[in-house]
């Protein structure tokens, strides 16, 4: 039975992880890390819960060399994306959203009262290492458009 907990015949062990204390990331959103290189020794995946408070937008950014997959647990959000943030998508509870590696994006929440909460998985096992802020792109989306 001990093999089931510590690993079987030299294989890495499965682990239960409780989300870590939330923190504010480079992108100006709230993150609670679950699966990562730090928490379980992951080598090719990272999974976390992200909360976008009402009337808040992230900083424009990309994840250098890493894909992201999002599942919306609650609420809804808009996402500007593309080379100059020229494309736009809406996501809501139950939707999946895919962001290819190196694609600039800027999610935001237009709700007056409800946070948008998502589960995000990325091919980078580290939390903030692949985040590249792109402040020069923020001028392409005037703040009035986000309201």
What CATH number should be reported for the domain holding residue 126? 2.60.120.10
Number of structural domains in the chain? 1
3-class secondary-structure state, position 138: helix
Phi and psi, residue 144, nearest 5°: -60, -30
* pTM for the whole structure: 0.85
Banded model confidence at residue 3, pLDDT cuts 50, 70, 90: very low
> How much is the pLDDT for 88?
94
Q: How does pLDDT run across 14-38, given as a tens digit for each residue?
A: 999 998 789 888 888 888 999 999 9
Beta bridge partners of 91: 77
Q: Is residue 47 part of a domain?
A: yes
Residue ranges of alpha helices (H) inside 20-135 are 37-40
Q: Is residue 3 part of a domain?
A: no
Q: Is residue 50 part of a domain?
A: yes
Q: Which domain holds residue 109?
A: 16-146
> How much is the pLDDT for 81?
96
């Amino acid at each position: 039975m001990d093999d089931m907990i510590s690993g079987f015949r030299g294989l890495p062990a499965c682990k239960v992880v409780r989300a870590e204390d939330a923190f504010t990331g480079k992108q100006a959103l709230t993150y609670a890390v679950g699966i990562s290189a730090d928490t379980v020794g992951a080598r090719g995946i990272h999974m976390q819960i992200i909360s976008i408070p009402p009337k808040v937008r992230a900083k424009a950014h990309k994840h250098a060399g890493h894909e992201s997959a999002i599942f919306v647990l609650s609420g809804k959000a808009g996402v500007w994306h593309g080379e100059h943030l020229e494309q736009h998508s809406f996501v809501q509870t139950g939707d999946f959203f895919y962001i290819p590696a190196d694609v600039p994006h800027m999610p935001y929440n237009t709700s007056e009262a409800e946070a948008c909460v998502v589960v995000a998985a990325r091919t980078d096992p580290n939390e903030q290492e692949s985040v590249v802020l792109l402040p020069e792109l923020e001028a392409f989306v005037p703040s009035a458009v986000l309201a």
